[in-house]
């Protein structure tokens, strides 16, 4: 964090030929000689952060640095600065915010949201909210009555919604021309069903805006979305491949399985749940899945996408291979999850198991390109970023984000083994309330489609973290997935609702509500 902030500050001064920088240079001419070291031109972000003791080198551990080290070793600068400070505990003044009596309840509530992945604001306890972030309607269909636990997206209508909208799809009331309820007229027998994603940070659509650290693009407007981004855990599920429903504001365009199902059947409006988390794997999904909101007796069926595409082989450990999920563990975890779904999903639901990605695509297409932090001075490549994160033992994937080709191949080999387990489960396991299908993660087909459009493979990867699928990849992945399901398992999508145009026309006549 420190290296990131200091890097951006230094580059902003350089980009804008800052008067602040000029003033600092003048100030340095007045500083006594023994303190002159803090003005040294070789004081890059690594040196500054080690000097402030926000970065440190543990005994027996390598010295972690993002930039090429200066001629004089980092710790020499750091020790020289710290020797003139009265106390090495520079930042001990920061106390735990949650220790304040007025904030402790709020902090506990936020911890509950993060731990259980349930909406922060949910007055009736139905797991749906009228608030967008903090696991609100960016993640699940928007509640239309947060004071009534029997009203929520995805349920079958109560008395054909004659008097009110019990399932929040916007269709209720009676047609004055013939006295037939609109919900009965337009949605009866329409194969209404929801979309549920059980996934990881790729499914939640993790994204750090590159303009936050690319000084040539930076402005006050660059940070307008910062509060929303942090209260959504740096995820953007509202633009994601499976449950996206808003026009993208982070580049590319939005296309999702939910939007396509909604176009196919307007009665599916708002019936979506993105139950994903950063770091999601087949193991921790067993806990996460309990936040699913589906009543087996009262609700519509659902299409469930099970997609933990990398974290079963990705970790930041030095001995990364030893910490990967084994085929036996994968089988056990997924079957347990499916058995839980069988106790929750209404009859007629469908589950699609998605295979793991081949992450060699990341190194092959990014390692020698410049990261947003390095574009101004051409001094930070993705290879350097990956090595920095790996040294800190916070790499999102030590097995793929590495110059070690053998390790990259072994990681992909394990990913293929786990995908084959998913394929076998889909072939052999049977459940009472849903059928199970398997599909490979469509990276190759997505890259081919993007190439036909004149794009480059690296554009399919998030530029800041160099790891997750980009907005373009998410939108194109939707198209590839839809075509496969439509041609191979058309029963999953249900029939097209012939009344869609009439529904939209009535909405427009009534002011678009």
Residues in the chain: 513
> Exposed, middle or buried by CB within 10 Å (0-12, 13-18, 19+), for 224?
exposed
As a whole number of angstroms, the distance between CA 143 and CA 381 comes to 45
- φ, ψ of residue 299 to 5 degrees: the values are -105, 165
Q: What whole-number distance in Å separates Cα of residue 490 and Cα of residue 230?
A: 38
- Residue holding tokens 């070291």? 37
Count of beta carbons in the 10 Å neighbourhood of residue 481: 23
Q: Which residues are catalytic?
A: 201
Read off the tokens for 129.
């909210």
> Quick one: tokens of 507?
């909405």
In contact, 274 and 242? CB cutoff 8 Å: yes
- Is residue 151 within 8 Å of residue 164, measured between CB atoms? yes
| Residue 373 burial (10 A CB sphere; 0-12, 13-18, 19+) | buried
Hey, is 104 helix, strand or coil? helix
Cβ(211)–Cβ(223) under 8 Å? no
- 8 Å CB contact between 350 and 303: yes
Asked if 158 and 166 count as a contact pair (C-beta separation under 8 A), the reply is yes
Residue 237: which of 279, 199, 194, 203 has the closest Cα?
A: 203
**Residue 274 in 3-state DSSP?**
strand
How far from the centroid of its chain's Cα atoms is residue 371's Cα? 20
Contacts of 165 (CB under 8 A, 6+ apart): 144, 145, 151, 171, 172
Name the H helices within 369-404: 382-391
Which helix (H) or strand (E) element contains residue 416?
helix 405-428
Distance linking the first and last C-alpha atoms of the chain: 44
Find, among 145, 167, 164, the residue nearest to 156 by Cα: 167
């Amino acid at each position: 964090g420190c290296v990131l902030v200091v890097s951006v500050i230094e580059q902003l001064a350089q980009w804008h030929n800052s008067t602040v920088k000029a003033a600092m240079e003048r100030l340095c001419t007045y500083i006594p000689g023994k303190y002159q070291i803090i003005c040294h031109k070789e004081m890059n972000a690594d040196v500054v952060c080690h000097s402030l003791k926000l970065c440190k080198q543990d005994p027996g551990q390598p010295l972690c640095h993002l930039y090429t080290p200066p001629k004089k070793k980092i710790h020499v600068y750091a020790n020289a600065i710290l020797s003139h400070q009265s106390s090495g505990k520079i930042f001990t003044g920061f106390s735990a915010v949650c220790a304040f009596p007025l904030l402790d309840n709020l902090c506990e509530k936020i911890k509950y949201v993060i731990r259980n992945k349930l909406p922060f604001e949910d007055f009736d306890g139905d797991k749906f909210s009228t608030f967008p972030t903090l696991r609100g309607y960016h993640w699940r269909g928007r509640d239309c009555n947060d004071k009534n636990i029997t009203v929520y997206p995805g349920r079958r209508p109560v008395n054909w919604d004659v008097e009110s909208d019990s399932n929040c799809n916007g269709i209720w009331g009676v047609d004055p021309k013939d006295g037939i309820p609109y919900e009965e007229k337009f949605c009866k027998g329409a194969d209404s069903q929801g979309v549920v994603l059980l996934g990881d940070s790729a499914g939640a659509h993790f994204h750090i805006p590159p303009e936050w650290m690319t000084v040539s693009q930076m402005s006050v407007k660059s940070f307008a979305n910062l509060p929303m981004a942090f209260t959504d855990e740096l995820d953007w599920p509202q633009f994601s491949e499976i449950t996206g429903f808003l026009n993208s504001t982070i580049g590319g365009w939005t296309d999702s399985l939910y939007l396509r199902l909604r176009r196919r059947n307007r009665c599916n409006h708002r019936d979506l749940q993105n139950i994903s988390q950063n770091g999601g794997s087949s193991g921790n999904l067993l806990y996460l899945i309990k936040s699913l909101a589906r009543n087996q007796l009262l609700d519509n069926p659902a299409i469930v996408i099970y997609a933990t595409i990398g974290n079963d082989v990705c970790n930041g450990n030095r001995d990364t291979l030893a910490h990967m999920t084994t085929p036996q563990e994968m089988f056990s975890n997924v079957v347990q999850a499916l058995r839980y779904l069988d106790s929750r999903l209404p009859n007629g639901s469908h589950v699609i198991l998605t295979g793991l990605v081949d992450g060699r695509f990341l190194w092959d297409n990014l390692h020698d390109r410049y990261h947003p932090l390095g574009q101004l001075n051409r001094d930070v490549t993705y290879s350097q970023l990956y090595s920095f994160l790996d040294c800190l033992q916070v790499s999102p994937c030590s097995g793929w984000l590495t110059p070690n080709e053998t390790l990259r191949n072994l990681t992909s080999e394990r990913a293929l083994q786990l995908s084959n387990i998913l394929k076998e489960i889909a072939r052999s396991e049977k459940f009472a309330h849903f059928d199970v299908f398997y599909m490979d993660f469509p990276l190759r087909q997505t890259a081919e489609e993007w190439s036909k459009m004149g794009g480059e493979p690296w554009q399919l990867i998030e530029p800041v973290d160099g790891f997750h699928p980009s907005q373009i990849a998410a939108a194109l992945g939707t198209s590839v997935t839809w075509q496969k399901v439509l041609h191979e398992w058309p029963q999953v999508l249900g029939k097209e609702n012939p009344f869609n145009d009439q529904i939209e026309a009535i909405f427009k006549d009534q002011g678009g509500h």
